[in-house]
Structure formats: structure tokens, C-alpha cells
Amino acid sequence: MEASLFFRRICLLWLALLAGLTLFGQDRKPAVYEPKIGQKGKDVVWVPTPTELVDKMLELAEVKAEDFVIDLGSGDGRTVISAARLGAKAEGVEFNHDMIVLSRENARREGVSDKVEFIEGDMFEADLSHATVITLFLLPGLNIKLRPKLLELRPGTRVVSNTFTMNDWVPDSTVTTPENWNSWNTAFMWIIPARVDGLWKSSDSEISFSQKYQIVGGLLTRDGRSYPVDNGRIRGNQISFMVDGSRYSGEIDGDLIKGTVEVPKEGTKAEFTAKRLASRP
């Protein structure tokens, strides 16, 4: 065989080998998972929260570096990643394995892997005890199913839900992104209230509080006379209510309320302390 023909054959063989190696390499590259809007999920399909609303939800909850945010049904990880970009630690709980892999990759690309964790599993079994903020984009029935567990969280924990409410638990705040008028554009926030329902005693009165979520009513008894507790509200550990024209406000610390009582028509303000005698079963 002529030397130049031999050389050409070697070159062709070499090129074929290179092409083969390249194709083989491409085959072996992990394909990036592309979720489809509306794809089936365990209890609810995947639809992503628009990024403008993600930002508003985190703003509504005043997410800061000290926070621990948990997104239940975390999809592609966008809320978790945005929370981490605000400096918070964040966790996503997602049932779909491919979405977990995608979320971890998205977090890596955004440079926040050290701040986030994605847990593959069922959100109804997740440990929420370390959360200071919970984010949701589920369905009304799923919110209601989660509600008892959410109400057990530390007072002051914020729960933010894209679009869906908590039935008769009225939100503490609402936010909208009007520019997204044709899409998911409203979120609601609830602040887990401390529990006060039961019997309390202050220096000159007994107060029987009744509580439904963050709304408080009841009866204050002093010198044998009873007065209704009006406009009672709890925000985390803070309580405020009116009795017979006096404005009470204070902080609930377990079985103690410490604060002030103001009588606007007399222009007076004094310290107020109450101790819990009994909880309502």
C-alpha cells in the first residue's frame, strides 16, 4: 500500500474514533429534566408560582437571614432558592424524584447549595418544627389538611399561600402582583397565634378568653361585674383587646401576659400582668 493512502486511512480511522467518542460522551451526559406545567404530582399537579409572586410572598413574610423557610411541595425549588438568596436557610419537600434532582441542580447553578436542602418525601410527614416561615402553593383541601399541624408551630411562624385560603382562618395579610392579573397573582399570610383560651387572673380581675385562630373574645370580671372582651387579636405572641373603653396590649409568654392597659378618656397608662389559671380543653 502506498504511504499516502495508508496515512489517509489512519486519519479517517482517527476521525471516526473521535466522532464515536464524542457521541458516546453526549449519550452519557445526564439529560436535564424538563418538567411540564400541569404534570401529575402525588396530591396536586405541578404549576410554578410566578417569580414576581415568589418575591412578594417572601417579602410579605419578611424573610431574613435568621429565617428557616420550608416550601411544601417545592416543585423546581424556586421559592427555596429565592429564600436562600435572601440569606435564609431553606428546605423544600417534594415527592417527585426528578424535581428534587432538578431543584438541587438549580440551587447549584444559583450558588446557594450550602443554604438549601431538598427532601424527597411526602409533605404531610415532614418535620416542620424548625420552620419560621412555611410557603405553600397547593389546593384549598390540602391547606385545610395541613392546618392543624401548622397551628401547632411556634407562635410567630408565618405561613404564606399562593392563591388558596385556609377556609375560616382569615389571613393576617394579603399581597397581589397586579401586573400578573391573568395568572396566579395573590398570596395570603397567616401568623401562628399563641394560645390564650382559658382562665386568666390579673391583680384586680379574672379574664376568661375564648379564641378562634388569631381572634379573641371573652369576659373580664371585676368587683362582681362582667365586661365583654372586644376587638381581641393575637399576632404571634402579641395580644391586644378592649374592655369597657380600656385598651390592653401585651406579650404572651407561656402562662404569662405582660403589657399595659390604657384608658384613653382618662389619659392614663399602667402596667398589666395576667397569669393563666387554666387552659380550655
Ligand X SMILES: C[S@@+](CC[C@H](N)C(=O)[O-])C[C@H]1O[C@@H](n2cnc3c(N)ncnc32)[C@H](O)[C@@H]1O
List residues binding ligand X (CB under 6 A). Answer: 41-44, 46-49, 71, 73-75, 78-79, 93-96, 99, 122-124, 137, 162
Smaller CB distance to ligand X: residue 43 or 52?
43
**143 to each of 68, 87, 122, 125, 214, how far by Cα in Å?**
20, 27, 14, 14, 17
Secondary structure of the chain: what % helix, strand, coil (to 5)?
Answer: 30, 35, 35
| Nearest position to ligand X, beta carbon | 73
Strands 173-176, 158-162: pairing is unpaired
The smaller minimum CB distance to ligand X, of residues 36 and 265, is found at 36
Give the nearest distance from C-beta 141 to ligand X in angstroms.
Answer: 12
State the nearest-atom distance from the C-beta of 236 to ligand X, in Å.
24
Nearer to ligand X, 91 or 94 (CB): 94
Q: In sequence order, what are the beta bridge partners of 89?
A: 68
Which CB atom, from 35 or from 259, has the smaller least distance to ligand X? Answer: 35
- CB 207, min distance to ligand X, A: 41
3-state DSSP call for residue 183?
A: coil
d(CA 105, CA 113): 9
Sheet holding 173-176, edge to edge: 116-120, 89-94, 68-72, 133-136, 158-162, 186-191, 173-176
CB of 190 vs ligand X, minimal distance in Å: 17
Considering the complex, what minimum distance in angstroms separates the CB of residue 253 from ligand X?
34
9 vs 42, beta carbon nearer ligand X: 42
